[in-house]
């Protein structure tokens, strides 16, 4: 039978967890310090920056998992990249690699049979090879155009066997290469959003006001000379908690909200003779339909309002936005 998880086991587990984090943090720090005495990282970045094709990343086992993540990070930050399994590459997938590509081969031992089988072919094709290993004297290091040394003093595994610290350091080095490249390429938030349209940042940076605004008959609006009671009926029909007040050219000149109505109740006994122009807020906040939806959020936050009107380049009312529209669109 398995022993019950007791306080002694909990303390031992916590100690090992902390030692693992300390070990891996120290190894990353050691790699960072090593970069100061080693220009190979700069050579690797230059090679990747000048690559006319894609960055192909390959590895097997745990190194394969790191290679997949590295390729995904490159691809999402402006460096076209893909993962190729070395065993599959030896059976046809090498056809995906071209002379214009840069090939990153990952193997801590530097002796991966699968990689060493395909790398001579990759070299003959004209692709440049970057090897990431923990053994500078390995076969993989010797065949590469650039070798990046990710040697660690010991693995976090208590038996010093399972790839733990070495894979963490390799992963961190891949992130370092990707970040350096994205900055050199002038990659910005808007570029990141285009490759992540389904994510929160994509929605924030790719969603425009016109995509989420209410338009046409759904926009509450009245003329300035109508009675307040008529304006209230329009507000009720359209369900936005406000109505725009427009002139003869359909340009917004004011706005009246539920909040204004609540404040009026304390002061006005008879609404039947009140005209909307006498109680509206003049010069209402508006935004253009081509602006980003996040700009509408900023206006609402700055002026502490829940609605904003949408006006075109001629100043005509073309839509309206409620904070709930932005919430449903997951802009906020």
Check if the beta carbon of residue 271 is closer than 8 Å to that of residue 259. Answer: no
Indicate the pLDDT class of residue 191, thresholds 50, 70 and 90.
Answer: low
| Inside any domain, residue 46 | yes
Residue 196 has pLDDT above 70, yes or no: no
Does one domain contain both 85 and 143?
Answer: yes
Q: 220: domain CATH number?
A: 3.10.580.10
Residue 267 has pLDDT above 90, yes or no: no
Lowest mean pLDDT among 15-24, 53-62, 211-220, 265-274: 265-274
Q: Which helix (H) or strand (E) holds 43?
A: helix 40-49
Does one domain contain both 101 and 236?
Answer: no
Q: 132: domain CATH number?
A: 3.40.50.10490
Give the tens place of pLDDT for each residue, 46-103: 999 999 999 999 999 999 999 999 999 999 888 999 999 999 999 989 999 999 999 9
How many Å apart are CA 213 and CA 286, to the nearest integer? 12
User: What is the mean pLDDT of the segment spanning 118-132?
Assistant: 95
The boundaries of the domain holding residue 253 are 209-328
| Inside any domain, residue 43 | yes
What pTM value is reported for the model? 0.66
Nearest Cα neighbor of 107 from 41, 51, 57, 155 is 57
Does one domain contain both 230 and 262?
Answer: yes
Apex 255 CA angle, 252 and 260, nearest 5:
175
Q: Which pairing describes strands 317-322 and 242-246: parallel, antiparallel, or unpaired? A: unpaired
Out of 139, 155, 187, a domain closes at 187
How many Å apart are CA 127 and CA 47, to the nearest integer? 11
Please give the order of strands across the beta sheet that includes 317-322. Answer: 286-287, 307-311, 317-322
What is the average pLDDT score of the chain? Answer: 92
Does one domain contain both 153 and 300?
Answer: no
Indicate the pLDDT class of residue 203, thresholds 50, 70 and 90.
Answer: low
How many Å apart are CA 152 and CA 135, to the nearest integer? 10
Does one domain contain both 162 and 301?
Answer: no
How many Å apart are CA 245 and CA 223, to the nearest integer? 6
Does one domain contain both 178 and 296?
Answer: no
Task: Tell me what pLDDT residue 186 has.
Answer: 87
How many independent structural domains does the chain possess? 2
Structure token digits, residue 116: 């060493």
User: What is the mean pLDDT of the segment spanning 280-284?
Assistant: 94
| Inside any domain, residue 8 | no
| Inside any domain, residue 2 | no
Query: In this structure, what are the phi and psi dihedrals at residue 113, rounded to the nearest 5 degrees?
Result: -60, -40
Does one domain contain both 26 and 74?
Answer: yes
How many Å apart are CA 66 and CA 241, to the nearest integer? 52
The neighbouring-strand residues paired with 154 are none
Task: Tell me what pLDDT residue 119 has.
Answer: 95
Structure token digits, residue 71: 């390729």
Whose tokens are 């990353």? That residue is 28
């Amino acid at each position: 039978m398995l022993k019950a998880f007791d306080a002694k086991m909990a303390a031992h587990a916590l100690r090992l967890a902390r030692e693992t984090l300390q070990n891996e943090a120290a190894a990353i720090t050691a790699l960072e310090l090593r970069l100061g005495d080693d220009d190979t990282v700069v050579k690797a970045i230059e090679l990747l920056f000048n690559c006319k094709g894609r960055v192909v990343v390959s590895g097997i086992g745990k190194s394969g998992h790191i290679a997949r993540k590295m390729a995904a990070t490159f691809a999402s930050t402006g460096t076209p990249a893909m993962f190729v399994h070395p065993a599959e590459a030896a059976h046809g997938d090498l056809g995906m690699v071209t002379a214009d590509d840069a090939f990153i081969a990952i193997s801590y031992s530097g002796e991966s049979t699968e990689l060493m089988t395909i790398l001579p072919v990759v070299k003959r094709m004209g692709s440049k090879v970057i090897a990431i290993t923990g053994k500078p004297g390995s076969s993989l290091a010797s065949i590469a155009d650039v070798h990046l040394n990710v040697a660690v003093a010991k693995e976090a595994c208590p038996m010093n066997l399972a790839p733990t610290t070495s894979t963490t350091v390799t992963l961190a080095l891949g992130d370092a290469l990707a970040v350096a490249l994205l900055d050199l390429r002038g990659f910005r938030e808007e570029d990141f959003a285009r490759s992540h349209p389904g994510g929160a940042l994509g929605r924030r940076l790719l969603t425009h006001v016109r995509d989420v605004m209410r338009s046409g008959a759904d926009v509450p609006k009245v003329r300035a000379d109508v009675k307040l009671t008529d304006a209230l009926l329009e507000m009720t029909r359209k369900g936005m908690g406000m109505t725009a007040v427009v002139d003869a050219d359909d340009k917004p000149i004011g706005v009246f909200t539920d909040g204004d109505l609540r404040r009026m109740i304390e002061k006005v006994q008879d609404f039947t003779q009140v005209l909307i122009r006498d109680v509206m807020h003049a010069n209402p906040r508006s935004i253009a339909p081509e602006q980003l939806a996040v700009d509408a959020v900023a206006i609402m936050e700055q002026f502490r309002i829940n609605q904003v009107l949408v006006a075109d380049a001629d100043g005509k009312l073309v839509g309206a936005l409620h904070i709930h529209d932005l919430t449903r669109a997951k802009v906020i």
